[in-house]
Amino acid sequence: MTVDVEDYFHVSAFENSIDKAHWAKMPLRVEKNTYRLLELFEKHNVKSTFFTLGWVAERCPNLIKAIVDQGHEIASHGFAHQRITEMSTSDFIADVTKSKDILEQLSGTEIVGYRAPSFSINDSNTWVYEKLIELGFKYSSSTYPIEHDLYGVPSWPRFIYERSERFEGQKIIEIPIPTLRKNELNTGIGGGGYFRLYPYWLSKKRIDKFHQQEQQPYSFYFHPWEIDPEQPRIKNAPLKSKFRHYINLSRMEGKLEKLMKDYQWDTMKSVYLDKNSQENGIS
């Protein structure tokens, strides 16, 4: 189970509608929504990895402590939710270093996981992996091997694998978002908008099919704003972006509760780094 801890105004779909200089003036809702998720996770005995923006952590330090105190994993989502495809190497290093330092200071734990905003690692920026290793990360979950207008590299691996990049003998693994494959095409089943759009029975059917076909762990991702139907509306956003963002927000929490009841959930580090490395020889 994974949560990308960002607020409604951070999303890439609204990046041309909301100036980052105005973020601090927007009503902050991520803290309350994430505390609600912590309540749900505790109720259903779920452990999760929270890929957290450094921007959010700076403003909600007690939230970071609460996440760790309840036995969840803190990981980095970068600092300012900028897609790597739009960053220079030096900008990327500065952004991720700042995020990692903030999260480690607030959580008191080593940050070993990273997720790129909008799954923005692709063929154009594989240099990122060497930099992540250099910064001390052990795994990334930053790729979605599907066709999408904002992200996706369909030809990349679908399951956990060890990257070829090295730094001083250290290495990193990539954990792609889950997909189903049919007729040489990949379909996204990892959560987010797909999960809100489809009825729960269909999502469950697809997850079960993934388990049956692939015999691989399944990971799910979503955001705190997805359980918040009362969030402010971004009126000047494109219609397509608004449809994706607002579809079925009022139904999301109920669907999540079903998901938590139907499957067992743990952190990325526990499932993929600890258990998987022992079973598959990945270290």
pLDDT digits (tens, 9 = 90+) for 36-46: 999 999 999 99
Residue 146 C-alpha from the chain's centroid: 16
pLDDT value of residue 124: 93
- As a three-state string, the secondary structure of 50-72 is EEECHHHHHHCHHHHHHHHHCCC
pLDDT at 227 over 80: yes
Number of domains in the chain: 1
Q: Which residues contact 54 (CB under 8 A, 6 or more apart)?
A: 76, 78, 79, 80, 95, 98, 99, 100, 102, 103
What single-letter amino acid sits at 143?
T
Model confidence band, residue 255 (pLDDT cutoffs 50, 70, 90): very high
Mean pLDDT of 193-206: 94
Residue numbers of the domain that contains 22 = 2-280
Model confidence band, residue 184 (pLDDT cutoffs 50, 70, 90): confident
Going by C-alpha positions, the residue among 44, 118, 133, 59 that lies closest to residue 85 is 118
Mean pLDDT of 201-217: 95
Most distant CA atoms of the chain, gap in Å:
50
Q: What is the CATH number of the domain that holds 72?
A: 3.20.20.370
**Among 127-136, 142-151, 209-218, 232-241, whose mean pLDDT is lowest?**
142-151
Integer Cα distance of 153 and 157 in angstroms: 9
pTM assigned to the model:
0.95
pLDDT digits (tens, 9 = 90+) for 16-66: 999 999 999 999 999 999 999 999 999 999 999 999 999 999 999 999 999
**Among 48-52, 72-76, 144-148, 279-283, whose mean pLDDT is lowest?**
279-283
Residue predicted with more confidence, 142 or 193? 142
Going by C-alpha positions, the residue among 2, 4, 269, 272 that lies closest to residue 110 is 269
